Amino acid sequence: MTTLTADIEQSPPRFERILGSYRGNATGASVVCVAGIHGNEVSGIHALRRVLRVLEDRRPPFRGEFVGIAGNLSALERGDRYLAEDLNRVWTEDRIEAVRELAPDRFTTIEHEEMWGLLSALDDAFTRSRGECYFLDLHTSSAGGGPFVLLGDTIRNRSLAFKIPAPVILGLEETIDGVLLEYVNSLGHVTIGFEAGQHDDPASIDNQESAIWIGLLHAGCIDAGDVPEAVEARRRLNERTHKLPRIMELRYRKPVSPEDHFRMRPGYMNFQPVSAGEVVASDRNGDVAVKETGRLLLPLYQGKGSDGYFLARDVRPFWLFVSSVLRHLHAHHLVRILPGIWHHPTRPDTFVVNRRVARWVPMQVLHLLGFRKVREEGEYLTVSRRRYDLKSPHI
């Protein structure tokens, strides 16, 4: 097994946007992976190179295409999370449109240019696809404590997420605007994010590699019998994660900005249980205590970042089953008969909620029906669900 240090020593000093691709003669799905959208998260790059190397050496029967793409090239070269702005917070409709229209010589920041390059690479990969597209966004974190899958909660995304033997976290990306996963999901592709572990831990590369192989198996690009490395990677990940919770739901995100002088207390890790009132950090106003009992995710131990920590709690698999049944029955149409809730005038997958009435409709009911994105808009709340929950628009 290659170590992180050895991989870094072999790495060229510059990163190419397309790390590599592998295509079979038979038609099939496309598996597209992005690593290093945060420049201090290089382990996904090494994992993609490993998988590409095995495919090139072994040349197994392959259906469809596999593409490995690097995220923020300039930040990767400096080993920094980003230079001017976080490349994983810019994928809003307005900004994507602006970047598409602007000539490259008019870009004002490095990340503007990176976004254009990454968008072009993704456009190419998705346009070439002749089947379903599966998209994996690979990350690592400043804290250790076990890998996990980030799931935009659609039934189609669940089918891939639950193949990966690691905790699945619902609702995390809904709390942050402008993440790449959300954009790719809105195109109708099956998407998951994978947090593989601590930035410099060699095990994070192994974990990323496992997630990629499982993606290729699930998409039907390869058969398990042809690639023993894929089966071994899945077994190894399972061994590392079987004691962790299976499904969790995000409850809270601690937003931070540089002026807050936010400092996590030392020693916290992903999945660490915390009790309501426990002081986990400090900022310019003094102690920062968690509001409810749960488990910490992604405690911030690096200079750059706008999320201090997340708080999640365990979800019983039964509730996922209930929500799957409800969604297959298209029960979300029933939302409109609830008092104080009406269709958004311009956004088809969004409802407007009168706050006074919303007190009587538990958010859990809306979550079960697939409405996970909740935003305050003036005196109302809006709740949105993802468009391609059950059916692919591509096949």
CB closest to Zn ion, residue no: 139
Residues found in the chain: 395
Is 46 or 139 the residue whose CB approaches Zn ion more closely?
139
Is 38 or 189 the residue whose CB approaches Zn ion more closely?
38
Binding part of the chain for Zn ion, among 37-45, 182-190, 238-246, 368-376 by CB under 5 A, reads 37-45
Q: Is 199 in the site for Zn ion (CB under 5 A)?
A: no
| Residue among 31, 38, 42, 351 that touches Zn ion (CB under 5 A) | 38
Q: What is the DSSP string of 360-392?
A: TS-HHHHHHTTEEEEEEETTEEEEEE-TTSSS-
Binding part of the chain for Zn ion, among 9-17, 30-38, 282-290, 292-300 by CB under 5 A, reads 30-38
Is 72 or 129 the residue whose CB approaches Zn ion more closely?
72
170 touches 153 (CB < 8 A): yes
How far are the Cα atoms of 153, 156, 240 from residue 161, in angstroms, in the given order?
A: 10, 9, 17
* Minimum distance of Zn ion from residue 80's CB (angstroms): 12
Longest dimension (CA), the chain: 62
- The structure tokens 């089953």 sit at 321
Is 30 or 88 the residue whose CB approaches Zn ion more closely?
88
Binding part of the chain for Zn ion, among 125-133, 137-145, 171-179, 355-363 by CB under 5 A, reads 137-145
Is 80 or 124 the residue whose CB approaches Zn ion more closely?
80
Is 43 or 323 the residue whose CB approaches Zn ion more closely?
43
Binding part of the chain for Zn ion, among 61-69, 139-147, 171-179, 382-390 by CB under 5 A, reads 139-147
Is 7 or 307 the residue whose CB approaches Zn ion more closely?
307
* Minimum distance of Zn ion from residue 139's CB (angstroms): 3
Binding part of the chain for Zn ion, among 132-140, 222-230, 243-251, 287-295 by CB under 5 A, reads 132-140
Strands 350-354 and 380-385: antiparallel
Q: Is 139 in the site for Zn ion (CB under 5 A)?
A: yes
Q: Which of 211, 166, 190 is nearest to 386 (CA)?
A: 190
How far are the Cα atoms of 250, 256, 346, 368 from residue 372, in angstroms, in the given order?
A: 10, 22, 19, 9
Q: Is 81 in the site for Zn ion (CB under 5 A)?
A: no
SS3 content of the chain, % helix, strand, coil (to 5): 35, 25, 35
Tokens standing for 375? 């935003």
How many residues lie near Zn ion (CB under 5 A)? 3
d(CA 55, CA 345): 49
124 class by beta-carbon count within 10 Å (0-12 exposed, 13-18 middle, 19+ buried)? middle
* Minimum distance of Zn ion from residue 346's CB (angstroms): 32
Binding part of the chain for Zn ion, among 5-13, 63-71, 131-139, 285-293 by CB under 5 A, reads 131-139
**Around Cβ 349, how many Cβ atoms within 10 Å?**
18
- Binding residues for Zn ion, rule: CB under 5 A, are 38, 41, 139
